[in-house]
């Protein structure tokens, strides 16, 4: 990875679950954070948002959107698994534990990946490390 991404990679690695392999993959997919106007736009690009199914007056949420960056989505799911498997307690792990009591495991993992990518947008935009 070029030196121009070194600072961004270091910022990403300050977040629990993000390691030496996943951080360059994430930056290679994002390239420039300024391409995304909001954290939600980045999450949509990664496919970490549910598909909205509308019919008449009913709206419901379906599975994750597949017309997106599969590489970024996979990297974020791997990061979420890293948070789940860590022995240290942090807010992200606590979020997952609380959510997994109400939702299925994979749904909670996808929600954690979405939350992590949402936070990453702010980290990269504001050039700040992760604060638990």
Residue 97 half-sphere exposure, CB side, CA atoms within 13 Å?
A: 12
In a domain, 54, yes or no: yes
> Per DSSP, what are the bridge partners of residue 24?
none
In a domain, 131, yes or no: no
* Number of domains within the chain: 1
In a domain, 11, yes or no: yes
In a domain, 106, yes or no: yes
In a domain, 23, yes or no: yes
- Domain assignment of residue 93, given as a range: 3-122
In a domain, 80, yes or no: yes
- The per-residue pLDDT string of the chain (132 residues; one tens digit each, 9 = 90 and over) reads 557 789 999 999 999 999 999 999 999 999 999 999 999 999 999 988 875 555 667 665 555 666 678 899 999 999 999 999 988 889 999 999 999 999 999 999 999 999 999 999 999 999 999 987
In a domain, 82, yes or no: yes
CA angle 88, 90, 91 (to 5 degrees): 160
In a domain, 128, yes or no: no
């Amino acid at each position: 990875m070029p030196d121009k991404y070194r600072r961004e990679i270091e910022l990403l690695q300050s977040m629990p679950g993000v390691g030496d392999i996943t951080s360059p993959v994430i930056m290679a997919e994002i390239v420039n954070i300024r391409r995304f106007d909001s954290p939600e736009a980045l999450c949509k690009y990664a496919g970490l948002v549910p598909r909205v199914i509308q019919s008449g007056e009913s709206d419901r949420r379906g599975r994750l959107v597949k017309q997106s960056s599969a590489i970024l989505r996979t990297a974020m799911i791997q990061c979420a698994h890293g948070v789940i498997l860590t022995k240290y307690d942090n807010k992200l792990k606590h979020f997952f534990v609380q959510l997994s009591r109400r939702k299925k495991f994979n749904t909670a993992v996808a929600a954690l990946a979405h939350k992590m990518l949402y936070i990453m947008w702010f980290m990269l935009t504001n050039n700040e490390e992760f604060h638990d």
